[in-house]
Each structure stands twice: as structure tokens, then as C-alpha cells.
Amino acid sequence: MQLHLWLLGWSFVWLPSRAVECNEIDSCTECFRSGCFGWFGTECCSKEHCLMAAQGDRNFFTSCYEWKQHEDLSQICSAIHDDPCACLEAGCVAQEVSMGSTACFAAYQPAAGRQIFAADLASECEAPFGEAVLP
């Protein structure tokens, strides 16, 4: 729908604004301010889109604080290579990505491989496992 206005010989066209779709928003703060359901880390999502993406192993966050915590932990976890003890001690998730090789993630990655638990490493690790201390 367009509305044409004639004012003193000038023509103005008024176009009604359309609602911004959640997936068009690229700021976490704006995402939740707009009433959207979740944040993927680079784009916003509606409840339907978030839940559908989660079925395909894509993480989403329901607050910017939760996302920031995940990002901070991801930095710590991604710096740990082939050391499941250090990974678990940092509060991360250790997974066997191939025979004898482990990766360290901030959250479980279903497609990455078998998750390694503290009980699996009890005799290999020096200290008891604790929570990660984020900077």
C-alpha cells in the first residue's frame, strides 16, 4: 500500500514500514530488544528457527550474557589441544575426534565424536576437575 501526498506541488510517497525479520538482525542486544527468541552468535532467530536449528546441532543463546559467557569459555577451550585433562579442568567438554586425538569445546558437539568424562580419565589426570574460572 502506498500513500501519495501532494503538498505545495511536491509529491511524497509514504510506504508503510515492514517488520524486521529476526534473521536480519546482526546485533545481540538489538535481537532481544526486538523481541526475538535467540541468538546464534552472528544472527538472531525466531523461536521456530532457533528450535529447528537446534535439531541440526546448532547452538543458540537466550541472552547476550549467556552468549558472552560461551564466547569467553570458547576462547579458553580452543587453546587446549589433545589434553583431555586440561580441557575438563578448564570446565570445557573433551571429545575424542579420532582415535587417540581429542578436541576441547565450550559445549558438547554431537558430530565431533565421543564425549570424554572425568571418570574416563581418573587415573590419567593429576588433580580433581573443577569449574572454569572465566576472566
Other CB atoms within 10 Å distance of the CB of residue 75: 12
pLDDT tens per residue, range 94-104? 999 998 899 99
Q: CB under 8 Å to 72, separation ≥6 — which residues?
A: 134, 135
Between 135 and 127, the higher pLDDT residue: 127
What 3-state DSSP class applies to 63?
coil
Last residue of a domain, one of 11, 31, 62: 62
**Is 29 among the domain residues?**
yes
Domain total for the chain? 2
Range of the domain at 57: 21-62
Q: Tell me, what's the pLDDT at 42?
A: 93
**Is 74 among the domain residues?**
no
pLDDT tens per residue, range 82-97? 999 999 999 999 999 9
**Is 70 among the domain residues?**
no
Residue 121 — pLDDT band, cuts 50, 70, 90?
confident
86/54 same-domain check = no
Is 41:63 a contact under the CB 8 Å cutoff? no
**Is 97 among the domain residues?**
yes
pLDDT tens per residue, range 10-48? 555 454 444 679 999 999 999 999 999 999 999 999 999
Q: How far is CA 2 from the centre of its chain?
A: 40
How many whole angstroms separate alpha carbon 92 and alpha carbon 134? 11
pTM as predicted: 0.72
